[in-house]
């Protein structure tokens, strides 16, 4: 079920049930957590903007951290594999193989190449899941510093955060979410951090 509501110029869309999905996963399962796909474009001419201008490494850490929190909070026994602990393991190459598809996977779109990698992950643990997410922003003019939130605000900018939880054995998308906020992405902004947390169903209060 998808819920929509509007608040303070923000638009949110949340498919409920992440908590139930995570809680229902076997404690022997593995969740392979991909790094978020970050893509920023100009509102004016749709030209690409280097995410590094917006502290992409810190945004990456924010998204990964909240994804981990959502999993651990609802099923602390699950094993999480990400870029930090996959080094020198069988998962390292598999994570790299899925990196080009992370944006598509976050949208719930799975091609044959990704399915091939899923099968290899399932061979390591047939109760495996992939959690994919991406952050896309259209950056507009007129940005200004908001001391109340600690971030850069802009009435013409909008950010979208998508998440999908996929069962590797079948390639089925078991949960997904897509939300929007009228704000430039910022790891320093309390409002943007709350937005990322909300994406995982932590709170409906903004």
Helix (H) or strand (E) holding 140: none
pLDDT band with cut points at 50, 70 and 90 for residue 14: very low
**Domains in the chain, ordered, with CATH?**
7-199 (3.40.50)
Average pLDDT over every residue of 97-111: 97
Judge whether 49 and 148 are in contact, CB under 8 Å: no
Average pLDDT over every residue of 92-104: 96
Mean pLDDT score of the chain, rounded to an integer?
Answer: 86
pLDDT band with cut points at 50, 70 and 90 for residue 43: confident
Average pLDDT over every residue of 94-106: 96
Position 18 scores a pLDDT of 78
Judge whether 159 and 137 are in contact, CB under 8 Å: yes
pLDDT band with cut points at 50, 70 and 90 for residue 21: confident
How many CB atoms lie under 10 A from the CB of residue 62? 21
Who has greater pLDDT, 201 or 55?
Answer: 55
Interatomic CA distance for residues 12 and 126, integer angstroms: 34
pLDDT digits (tens, 9 = 90+) for 46-87: 899 999 999 999 999 999 999 999 999 999 999 999 999 999
pLDDT digits (tens, 9 = 90+) for 148-178: 555 555 557 899 999 999 999 999 999 999 9
Average pLDDT over every residue of 25-46: 93
Beta strand spans in the chain (E): 2-7, 10-15, 30-33, 37-42, 48-49, 79-81, 128-139, 144-146, 151-153, 158-167, 172-181
Give counts: helices (H), strands (E), the chain.
6, 11
Position 151 scores a pLDDT of 54
């Amino acid at each position: 079920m998808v819920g929509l509501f509007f608040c303070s110029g923000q638009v949110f869309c949340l498919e409920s049930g992440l908590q139930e999905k995570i809680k229902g996963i076997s404690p022997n399962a593995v969740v392979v957590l991909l790094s978020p796909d970050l893509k920023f474009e100009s509102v004016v001419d749709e030209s690409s903007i280097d995410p590094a201008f917006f502290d992409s490494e810190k945004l990456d850490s924010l998204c990964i951290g909240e994804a981990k929190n959502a999993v651990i909070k609802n099923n602390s026994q699950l094993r999480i594999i990400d870029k930090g602990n996959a080094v020198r393991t069988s998962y390292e190459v598999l994570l790299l193989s899925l990196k080009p598809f992370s944006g598509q996977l976050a949208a719930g779109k799975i091609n044959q190449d990704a399915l091939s990698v899923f099968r290899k992950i399932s061979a390591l643990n047939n109760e495996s899941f992939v959690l994919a997410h991406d952050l896309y922003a259209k950056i507009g003019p007129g940005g200004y510093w908001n001391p109340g939130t600690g971030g850069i605000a802009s009435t013409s900018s909008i950010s979208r955060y998508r998440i999908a939880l996929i069962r590797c054995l079948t390639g089925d998308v078991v949960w997904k979410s897509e939300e929007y906020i009228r704000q430039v992405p910022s790891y320093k902004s309390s409002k943007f951090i709350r937005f990322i947390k909300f994406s995982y169903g932590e709170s409906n209060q903004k």
